[in-house]
Structure 1
């Protein structure tokens, strides 16, 4: 063909070249569409996860307000018992009221609603699964550099991560240390985790996520957004995460 009609051969080559270019463009478009669909799916899951966490905060707040509203009725009843000299009714009623208070009120009171709600909720969940939980909370809420949005992402993901890891342990244990100290706001969480027999810890331990695959990525992003960073370590069956953020300057 190229001898009798070189123009036809040239057109054929150009046509094949155009087809290859079009195929390449279409392939890139398909890959990009799949990537965007995957990102959209992850964003949807993240939004749902955040909605659940905000729902927990809202429920905790409503629970506290509801109990404080009921306190007035309890006090009125006790006052009536005193006025009518029914003293024998006060002690059992007060005990029942205190039991209700302990069950409904946040058992943690740092002054930060996110921390109080999440730690209190974790106490109930660890007790339900016989997981040992120790906490050390020493913060000045005025110096906490995270707003509720980033605090929810950081603490919510870290606590869920630790809990899910311990669910696979026979004697799970979680340790939580949150402090404002030496001009930093620090969250240090450790939990026990032993890999199955014959399985070694991955080299990229920082990518080990016990929840939904992107929880720790969101923690790192929120920590960085607040001017801090996140460190992850695993040694001798102890998985630890440390978030360090410079504390907020005190306003005068």
Structure 2
């Protein structure tokens, strides 16, 4: 089996160094250019020959036609009669250096010629204008030979044509023309090859310096490896130049940032990227894993500047979708808070049992009964207030736990008497847990320094629409924070903790919008958050 030419050329190119490939390419270019120069030179030489020799032939023919003796002898001349006309023709041919001179009568029949075989033949040609009494120069083919001729009429004293003089020269062969231009072409070829070789070496060194000494096949392999790596990872990768222009973006980055497919080469402003995302891609990152809400997704950013000793290349940012993980973290946080609350209640119950045990040992039975009734009433009232209005067990358990936390913090927690919530599937229970838990936690944090803190919760279910209202008597939301409180990882609390803050409300709005609802806030003697979700 043979190797295909294309495959063979590929293998050959892979084995050659960059300098060798440049040299071969330049030699091919030089060969093509040289062939073109030779063709042009041949054409130019032919044109010069026609111009110079045509003028010389015409001049010789005109000089002979003007000879008075010729004008007298030629009207009565006949082929092979007398030697005067052949002598005159030969003298003109040898003097002018032409190849041949022919004399013919006025009808074009050859009387005498340098070529004896032409005697008696006609020298008139379809293109010739000598029959009209005008001189003519042109090219003909004679016995397979390309010939340049000039024909001039011989006129008597009355101006009538009495004969024809024809003189000419054969065109030089291609070999003769090449031999003529060979010295200059050879010098040009040598100079071009030398310059090409020197240029190839210098260009190869320059390119190798810029490519860190890598050969083309190594660069191609590196590019293929980079492309496979870039589009094979599960994280989004985007590179931004110092002038905020996207230089590279993989498929995950385009999807997560909602960019167009032709985003590479455009600036962040032209792409209409959200301001917080633009800041994340262009500003120095102090903390790892910065979180941003993009559309309905929580995306974690990590930016790394790219610099060399000579130049700032911008930065590379990696990011990943943490929406589901963040929601699970929120649920885990609620579960942990519930577990902590139950643990504290265990200690509280243990203290109550110790008190009851002590009263029994002191035989203070009336006090024991009163103490037990007080504890039972306090617990059962909270339980009854919740379970009487909330049929969903997950939400009921969450509210009982939050009520205990509020009591520990000295916050008065009330569930409105008109609250109603029927049982639902597991998913709506999980989503309501996220929304209600975040709203209650934010309300409790906002009441940390309020003298008589109070939280009121209202849950309404009408036509499969669940409306949750959480109202506190705190300082409310500042006007400048109203627009940012849901759109970004915004928080008025410490944001240096691991994982960041300010995503509770953003996640709550995300959950609400997933269920065709939304969340709003107004200031009414405190902050009032209203969330709507469709079951």
Quote the offset at 1:186 in angstroms: 0.9
Query: C-alpha deviations, 1:142-182, integer Å up to 9, x for none?
Result: 46895432232222111111111111334433221111124
2:401 to 114, 121, 125: 121
| 2:387 is equivalent to residue 102 of structure 1 | no
Q: Is this contact kept in 1: 2:471–2:526, CA < 8 A?
A: yes
Task: Name whichever structure is richer in helix by fraction.
Answer: 1
Q: How many residues align?
A: 212
Q: Is this contact kept in 1: 2:395–2:429, CA < 8 A?
A: no
User: Structure 1 residues 151 and 140 mapped into 2: Cα distance closer, same or farther (>3 Å)?
Assistant: closer
Question: Greater CA radius of gyration, 1 or 2?
Answer: 2
In structure 2, distance between residues paired with 1:218 and 1:45: 11
Q: Is this contact kept in 2: 1:190–1:238, CA < 8 A?
A: yes
User: 2:505 maps to which residue?
Assistant: 216
Query: C-alpha deviations, 1:194-219, integer Å up to 9, x for none?
Result: 379xx753231325556742212332
Using structure 1 for the length normalisation, give the TM-score. 0.60
Give the superposed CA RMSD. Answer: 4.6
Alignment of 1:1-252 (within 5 A): 5-15=202-212, 31-32=317-318, 35=319, 46=330, 48-53=332-337, 55=339, 59=342, 95-105=370-380, 106-107=383-384, 108-109=386-387, 110-136=390-416, 137-142=418-423, 147-194=428-475, 201-202=480-481, 203-207=483-487, 208-209=490-491, 212-225=501-514, 227-235=515-523, 238-247=526-535
User: Structure 1 residues 155 and 99 mapped into 2: Cα distance closer, same or farther (>3 Å)?
Assistant: same
Q: Is this contact kept in 2: 1:179–1:185, CA < 8 A?
A: yes
Query: C-alpha deviations, 1:11-61, integer Å up to 9, x for none?
Result: 32344997xx98x689599742xx45999996885464143156379x59x
Quote the offset at 1:135 in angstroms: 2.5
Using structure 2 for the length normalisation, give the TM-score. 0.32
In structure 2, distance between residues paired with 1:241 and 1:16: 63
SS state of the match for residue 241, structure 1?
Answer: strand
Quote the offset at 1:231 in angstroms: 1.6
User: Structure 1 residues 228 and 56 mapped into 2: Cα distance closer, same or farther (>3 Å)?
Assistant: farther
In structure 2, distance between residues paired with 1:4 and 1:121: 79
Q: Is this contact kept in 1: 2:512–2:531, CA < 8 A?
A: yes
Between 1 and 2, higher relative CO (CA 8 Å, sep ≥ 6) is seen in 1
Quote the offset at 1:134 in angstroms: 3.7
Q: Is this contact kept in 1: 2:398–2:437, CA < 8 A?
A: yes
SS state of the match for residue 480, structure 2?
Answer: coil
SS state of the match for residue 205, structure 1?
Answer: coil
User: 1:74 maps to which residue?
Assistant: none
Moved more, 181-190 or 105-114: 105-114
SS state of the match for residue 5, structure 1?
Answer: helix
In structure 1, distance between residues paired with 2:443 and 2:526: 11
Q: Is this contact kept in 1: 2:391–2:422, CA < 8 A?
A: yes
Q: Is this contact kept in 2: 1:144–1:180, CA < 8 A?
A: no
User: Structure 1 residues 12 and 181 mapped into 2: Cα distance closer, same or farther (>3 Å)?
Assistant: same
User: Structure 1 residues 48 and 135 mapped into 2: Cα distance closer, same or farther (>3 Å)?
Assistant: closer
